[in-house]
Copies of this chain bind each other. A is one copy, B any other.
Amino acid sequence: MKKPLILVTNDDGITAPGIRALVEVMSEIGRVVVVAPDSPQSGMGHAITMNDPLRIHKVDVFPGIEAWECSGTPVDCVKLAKHVVLKGQAIDLCVSGINHGSNASINIIYSGTLSAAMEASLEGIFSIGFSLLDYSFEADFEPAKPFIHRIATRVLTSPPRACRLLNVNIPKGPDIQGIRVCRQADARWIEEFQEARDPRGQTYYWLTGEFVNHDHGSDTDVKALEEGYISVVPSGHDLTIPEAIPQLFHLQNE
């Protein structure tokens, strides 16, 4: 059987340890091509670059692996990978990450890692965003690797019919309990701003905040992670709330 073609990207930049771990696992499964940002792009959400030109360069970062760095956002990387780097080739799987830090719950909305995976899924490519709950650049990715291998190989052989995107979050530490398929918790960030003054006396602000989960369901990604399980959330791109449609019919009448 022909080796699957696997596109690897991320949002922490092509030199981040997380993408190196992901390239190592994917190399055992298929032919890997890396197209990743040339600088960190955390929190870029689904940003695309419309008012600046994009640049892309072949780099020798991973021994024996074709790799390109791109001047744009994670979503730009996926678009360039499909239309410039791999034009005409069928991509069997796109994996993004391993992100340094959680993308569970509402973080899927803010995350460049997941937005890159979502972009590939919009192109019809089965995609997975992987994140480890450890912000450190010294994070240990070893315990996660066999699980990432299993998830990628299983969805390559038997992908779910109803979705093309998985949001996978992995607890920190050696004692991973297993895998749970779950729904996105309805949690959010409570923001704060740290105020400071520059040498000219002008005020500026740093964004900071705290993740708060008021969703006490037993079937959420946050709950699975709290209990030491890897969370897998099948995800899409339709934000419609169908049950609210009839509640708005009064707008249609004059």
Contact = CB atoms under 8 A, between A and B. Distances in A.
A178 B247 CA distance: 17
A239 B236 contact: yes
Most buried by B among A54, A118, A192, A239: A239
Contacts of A191: 79, 82-83
B207 A48 contact: yes
Contact of A234 (B150, B181, B241): B241
Contacts of A243: 162
Given A53-B205, A150-B251, A154-B250, A241 B118 contact: no
Interface string A118-160: 1000110000000000000000000000000011001100101
Interface stretch (A2-10, A14-22, A23-31, A103-111): A103-111
Interface residues of A, number: 82
Contacts of A188: 122-123
B207 A49 contact: yes
A175 interface: no
Interface in A36-74: 40, 42-51, 53-56
B252 A160 contact: no
Contacts of A110: 46-48, 75
A150 B239 CA distance: 24
Contacts of A115: 45, 109
